[in-house]
Amino acid sequence: MEFSTKVLHGKSVRRFQDGATLPPISQVSAFSYESAEELEKVFANRAPGFAYTRIGNPTVDAFEKRVCELEGGLAATACSSGMAAITAALLNILQSGDEVIASSGLFGGTIDLFGDLEVYGIETKYVTHVNVSEIKPLITDKTKVIFGELIGNPGLDVMDISSVAELAHANRIPLIVDATTATPYLINPIQYGADIVIHSSSKYMNGNGNSISGIIVDGGKFQWDFDKYPVLRKYKRFGNFAFSARLRNDIWRNMGGCLSPLNAYLNLIGLETLALRMQKICDNAFAIAKALEHIDGVSVNYPGLESNPYYSLVQRQFGGKGGGIVTLRVGSKERAYKLMNSLQYALNATNIGDTKTLVIHPASTIYIHSSEEQKRNAGVYDDTIRVSVGIEDSKDLIEDFTQAINQLN
Ligand X SMILES: *Cc1c(COP(=O)(O)O)cnc(C)c1O
Q: Which residues bind ligand X (CB under 6 A)?
A: 81-83, 107, 109-110, 149, 153, 178, 180-181, 200, 202-203, 212, 214, 352
* Residue 56 or 105 having the CB closest to ligand X: 105
Closest separation in Å from C-beta 262 to ligand X = 16
* Residue 204 or 229 having the CB closest to ligand X: 204
Residue, CB closest to ligand X: 82
Closest separation in Å from C-beta 82 to ligand X = 2
Closest separation in Å from C-beta 201 to ligand X = 7
Closest separation in Å from C-beta 238 to ligand X = 27
* Residue 181 or 370 having the CB closest to ligand X: 181
Distance of CA 299 to the CA centre of its chain: 26
Helices and strands (H and E) in the chain: how many: 16, 12
Closest separation in Å from C-beta 181 to ligand X = 6
Q: Which amino acid is at 315?
A: Q
* Residue 304 or 353 having the CB closest to ligand X: 353
- For helices 333-342 and 394-406, the axis angle rounded to 10 degrees is 130
Cβ burial, residue 140 (10 Å; 0-12/13-18/19+) = exposed
Closest separation in Å from C-beta 267 to ligand X = 11
**CB proximity list for 247: less than 8 A, separation 6 or greater:** 77, 88, 89, 92, 216, 218
Please, are residues 247 and 258 in contact by the beta-carbon 8 Å criterion? no
Please, are residues 187 and 344 in contact by the beta-carbon 8 Å criterion? no
* Residue 232 or 259 having the CB closest to ligand X: 259
* Residue 26 or 80 having the CB closest to ligand X: 80
**3-class DSSP assignment, residue 246:** helix
* Phi/psi of residue 149, nearest 5 degrees: -100, 145
